[in-house]
Amino acid sequence: MGIDQGFFAAEGIRVTVEGTPNSVTQMTRLSRGAFDIAMTAVDNIVAYVEGQGEAPIGPQPDFVAFMGSDNGFLSLVTQPAFADVAALRGTTLSVDAMTTGYAFVLFDILRRSGIGLEDCTLVRVGGMIQRYRSLLAGNEVGTLLSAPYNLIAQGEGLKELVKAHAVIGAYQGNVAATRRPWLAANREKAQAYVAGYRAAIAWLVDPANRDAAIAVLRRNLPDMTAEVAEGSYRELLDPAHGFYRDCRIDMAGLECVLDLRSRYAEPRKSGVVQAAQVTSFSGRSSRSRMMTPRRWRLRTQLA
């Protein structure tokens, strides 16, 4: 939306978007400087800073998150026969990667229903789209899906058992992240990105733009029904659990991320919040200072 409506251009930057199939690919390419910004789970950034990432790239102390987007919009979606989380004992569930991303959210949802990791089979399937397709094909019993795929899945007869925020509370999901050398050399670009992103969110939540926003969603996901699009709009922009209006990193949510990493990640770490892993920009007012448009790359991931 920030691209379509010209909000990034108004801040003097040109953004291009690329997709990645999974977090391992995304973090590997970010480490190599293949793109400038990754929209990713903050858990990935913490994991690779601490040397707990699944990709064989070693610790990445230069990874840093600088903008908060949302809580991940995570829901546990299963085959229709399952009534509750406790019924998942002995089943096969899918994740993106075993040591990063949202796998630990799934682990904790299971734990709170008395299910240990030894009580089910966990398989790596890939990013969210891959997990949705595999679940729909009947290859697994359940997985975590984000909006709108949790709603699309329900339209296909699958079942949403629980929303993650109802079980684990505050959680920092997606962030804008980069490498420290790039951030040091491109601080104004990062601020412009935050400002453009905030402007896009403000446009989306304006009731006058509701129909146009839903039309854009359906244009990008042409198989989405009108009913699912309406539900997605409500969920993604929910005042309490939707996109962050101020684009700040939720520090209480970050504490939850680190608590889960302390419980489940290997090798074990202290779990102490490292302030150096995140920074925060408030962004600047749109059109406060125009720059000559420059082409820079943004990699996004659905996981």
In the chain, the N- to C-terminal Cα span, in Å, equals: 20
What would the CATH number be for the domain defined by 7-70+172-264?
A: 3.40.190.10
Task: Give per-10-residue mean pLDDT for the chain (303 aa).
Answer: 91 93 93 96 93 92 96 98 98 91 94 97 93 98 96 96 98 96 96 97 97 92 90 96 96 94 78 52 43 39 37
Q: What torsion do the CA atoms of 128, 129, 134, 138 make, to the nearest 10 degrees?
A: 90
In contact, 261 and 52? CB cutoff 8 Å:
yes
Which segments within the chain are labelled E, that is strand? 13-20, 37-41, 63-68, 74-78, 92-95, 121-124, 142-146, 159-163, 174-179, 294-301
Give pLDDT, residue 291.
30
Give pLDDT, residue 269.
61
pLDDT, tens digit (0-9, with 9 covering 90-100), for 152-161: 999 999 999 9
Q: HSE on the CB side for 228, CA within 13 Å?
A: 18
Peptide bond into 148 cis (omega under 30): yes
Q: Establish whether domains 7-70+172-264 and 74-168 are of one fold.
A: yes
CA angle 266/143/23 to nearest 5° reads 50
Which secondary-structure segment (H or E) carries 273? none
Ramachandran angles phi, psi of 58, nearest 5° = 70, 180
Residue 53, Cβ neighbours under 10 Å: how many?
Answer: 26
Structure tokens, 247: 């684009």
CA angle 216/229/302 to nearest 5° reads 75
List the domain boundaries for the chain: 7-70+172-264, 74-168
Residue 93, Cβ neighbours under 10 Å: how many?
Answer: 25
Give pLDDT, residue 222.
86
**3 state SS of 174:** strand
Question: Can you name the residues that pair with 121 across neighbouring β-strands?
Answer: 92
Residue 70, Cβ neighbours under 10 Å: how many?
Answer: 22
Structure tokens, 83: 């009534």
In contact, 303 and 128? CB cutoff 8 Å:
yes
pLDDT, tens digit (0-9, with 9 covering 90-100), for 180-222: 999 999 999 999 999 999 999 999 999 999 999 999 999 988 8
CATH superfamily of 74-168: Periplasmic binding protein-like II (3.40.190.10)
Rounded CA-CA distance 192/12 in Å is 7
Model pTM? 0.87
CA nearest neighbour of 259 among 271, 250, 274: 271
